[in-house]
Amino acid sequence: MKINRRTFVGTGLAAAALLPAGLSRAQANDTIRIGVITDMSGIYRDVSGPTTVACARQAVEEFTAANPDIKVELLVADHQNKPDVGLTIIRQWFDEGVDAIENVGNSAIALGAKNLIEERNKVSLVTTAGSSDLTGKSCSANMVHWAWDSWCLAHSTATSLVRTGGDKWFFITADYAFGHAAEADATRFVEAAGGEVVGAVRYPYGSTTDFSSFLMQAQASGANTIAFANSGSELIACLKQAQEFGLPAAGLRMASMVGYITDVRGMGLDVAQGLSLTETFYWDMNERTRAFMDRVRPLLPEDVFPNMSQAGDYSVVTHYLKAVKELGVARAKASGRAVVDLMKEMPTDDDCFGAGTVRPDGRKIHPAYLFSVKSPAESTGPGDVYNLVSTVAAEEAFRPMAEGGCPII
Q: What is the pLDDT of residues 40-53, one digit of tens each?
A: 998 889 999 999 99
Nearest one of 343, 301, 308 to 103, comparing CA atoms: 308
Residue 20 has pLDDT above 80, yes or no: no
Top pLDDT among 206 and 306 is at 306
Residues 296 and 195 both lie in one domain? no
Rounded Cα distance, 406 and 43, in Å: 31
Domain count, the chain: 2
Q: What is the mean pLDDT of residues 133-144?
A: 97
**Angle CA 127–280–377, to nearest 5:** 125
Query: Considering the domain boundaries, does residue 297 fall inside one?
Result: yes
192 to 105, 160, 230, 368: CA distances (angstroms) = 30, 12, 22, 19
Residue 363 is classified by DSSP as: B
Query: Considering the domain boundaries, does residue 261 fall inside one?
Result: yes
Which residues touch 215 (CB under 8 Å, ≥6 apart)?
172, 226, 238, 241, 242, 245, 247
Query: Considering the domain boundaries, does residue 6 fall inside one?
Result: no
Residues 27 and 89 both lie in one domain? yes
Residues 136 and 184 both lie in one domain? no
Query: 14: pLDDT confidence band, cut at 50, 70 and 90?
Result: very low
Nearest one of 340, 345, 317 to 144, comparing CA atoms: 340
Query: Considering the domain boundaries, does residue 409 fall inside one?
Result: no
Residues 328 and 352 both lie in one domain? yes
Residues 221 and 346 both lie in one domain? no
Query: Considering the domain boundaries, does residue 186 fall inside one?
Result: yes
Sheet holding 100-103, edge to edge: 71-78, 31-38, 100-103, 123-126, 143-145
Q: What is the mean pLDDT of residues 147-164?
A: 90
Query: Considering the domain boundaries, does residue 296 fall inside one?
Result: yes
Q: What is the mean pLDDT of residues 132-146?
A: 97
Q: Do residues 112 and 340 lie in contact, with contact meaning Cβ atoms separated by under 8 Å?
A: no
Residues 139 and 209 both lie in one domain? no
Give the domain CATH number at 196: 3.40.50.2300
Query: Considering the domain boundaries, does residue 346 fall inside one?
Result: yes
Query: 16: pLDDT confidence band, cut at 50, 70 and 90?
Result: very low
193 to 162, 216, 228, 300: CA distances (angstroms) = 6, 26, 19, 41
Residues 353 and 371 both lie in one domain? no
Query: Considering the domain boundaries, does residue 2 fall inside one?
Result: no
Residues 209 and 279 both lie in one domain? yes
Residues 22 and 104 both lie in one domain? yes
Query: 141: pLDDT confidence band, cut at 50, 70 and 90?
Result: very high
Query: What percent of the chain lies above the pLDDT cut of 70?
Result: 93
Model pLDDT, residue 27 = 56
Q: What is the pLDDT of residues 217-261, one digit of tens each?
A: 999 999 999 999 998 889 989 999 999 999 998 999 999 998 899
Domain that holds residue 357: 15-148+287-365
Residues 380 and 333 both lie in one domain? no
Rounded Cα distance, 340 and 319, in Å: 10
Query: What percent of the chain lies above the pLDDT cut of 90?
Result: 82
Residues 233 and 295 both lie in one domain? no
**Cβ neighbours around 114 below 10 Å, total:** 17
Going through 27-164 in order, the beta strands assigned E by DSSP cover 31-38, 71-78, 100-103, 123-126, 143-145
Residues 189 and 213 both lie in one domain? yes
